Structure 1
Amino acid sequence: MMTLPQYFLVKIAEEASEVAQIALKTAHFGLSEIQPGRAETNAERVYGELNDLLAMVHRLGEVSNGEFWFDIGSPDHVAIATKLAKVAHFLTYSQSLGLVESGVQT
Structure 2
Amino acid sequence: MPKKQLKHLTEPMYYILLILNSPNHGYGIMQTVEEMTEGHVKIGAGTLYTLLSRFEKEGIIEALPEEDRKKNYVITKKGKELLEEEFQRLNRLVKDGRDILRGGA
Whether TM-score is above 0.5 comes out as no
Q: Relative to total residues, which structure has the larger helix share, 1 or 2?
A: 1
Provide TM-score, normalisation by structure 2.
0.33
Normalized per residue, the structure richer in strand is 2
